[in-house]
Structure 1
């Protein structure tokens, strides 16, 4: 819970300043020590961009496909900071379930993962989810909603 809470606070800070990260993934979360309560730092701002009034629209496939929100695959269509929240949903799913929601076996190629993301194909149908609270699963479900399902 602490990792996700700290990530949410980091995003609140960024989004409050009109910055979208665009490449959230576990590899871009650094623990400052090996302690179980270590602070988490968000890194790799190479794809980050300002957004909002007076800024260029955010468009295009940018980042790591396995963590990209479905709207990022729509050629020429603008998206906003919500894409970072989608990536938080993927990270939270991995932290609680132990595997990627769109690549459970870890063997799918980018094209297959993209197709599953665009189709919204994922579930909690695994024994590893029996220990996860209803609230946590509801949060993941909300974060991984596609625009077409809203």
Structure 2
């Protein structure tokens, strides 16, 4: 029998609101934790399908606390080889284009969501936003987002921006997998220590 772990550090969402945005060093360390955990889930055939800051919890209140992935209510097991999902689900703003297009999709949807989270960590606002859901979905379907000046002027082009662009790639076949993202220089060169991320 498995028991749920008690966490006391609050949601990543709350820390983003409090901090405004993260430094590249802190953001890359956090995203590496998330990718390690999601990569493990994917290796087991589990697709989360609702990754967002509200579902990433700090184990304790310390700044260096590990991150826990929560809320598996929409998660799904991938079936046999090449078996793909088609149910529209997820949270507007974090959902991948292929889900909105009502196309069959795969675990690549989680990687898109991690790209969105990475974007938010570095600037404090989402890549896609509109109070009108139809217009919001249109932005996502076209993968229309910008690295706006002046907020992104000091963010590394060949590292952070390239990392995000490869995760928020409209074509899921060209999108980074978790394993590919973990090998990206932004994570490899920015982190000298490994912190464990868990799922609850």
Normalising by the residue count of structure 2, what TM-score does the alignment of the two structures yield? 0.68
Partner of 2:188 in structure 1? Answer: none
Q: Distance in 2 between matches of 1:148 and 1:115?
A: 17
Whole-Å separation in 2 of the counterparts to 1:23 and 1:148: 17
Give the structure with the higher percent helix: 1
Unmatched tracts of structure 2, length 5 or more: 1-27, 175-200
> RMSD over aligned Cα, in angstroms?
1.9
Q: How does 1:137-148 map to 2 (within 5 A)?
A: 137-147=161-171
SS in 1 for 2:57: strand
2:108 is equivalent to residue 78 of structure 1 = no
Q: Deviations over 1:90-137 (max 9, x none)?
A: 00000001110011xxx5232221110001110112211122112000
* Matching of residues 97-136 of structure 1 within 5 Å: 97-103=123-129, 108-134=131-157, 135-136=159-160
State the 1:149 CA deviation.
9.9
Alignment-derived partner of residue 4 in structure 1? 31
Does structure 1 conserve the Cα–Cα contact (< 8 Å) formed by 2:108 and 2:172? Answer: no
2-side partners of 1:67 and 1:146: how far apart? 13
TM-fit CA distance, 1:74: 2.2
Unaligned runs of 5+ in 1: none
Q: Which has the larger radius of gyration?
A: 2
Count of matched residue positions in the alignment of Structure 1 and Structure 2:
146
Q: CA deviation at 1:57?
A: 3.3
Aligned mates of 1:149, 1:51 — CA distance in 2: 17
1:90 aligns with 2:90: no
Mapped to 1, the partners of 2:138 and 2:172 lie a distance apart of 14
CA deviation profile, 1:20-57 (whole Å, cap 9, x unmatched)? 00000000000112211110000000000001317963
Deviation, 1:84, is: 0.2
Secondary structure class of the residue paired with 2:93: helix
Q: For 2:42 and 2:136, how far apart are their aligned partners in 1?
A: 27
- Label 1:54 to 1:82 Cα distance change in 2 as closer, same or farther (>3 A): closer
Q: Does 1:60 align with 2:100?
A: no
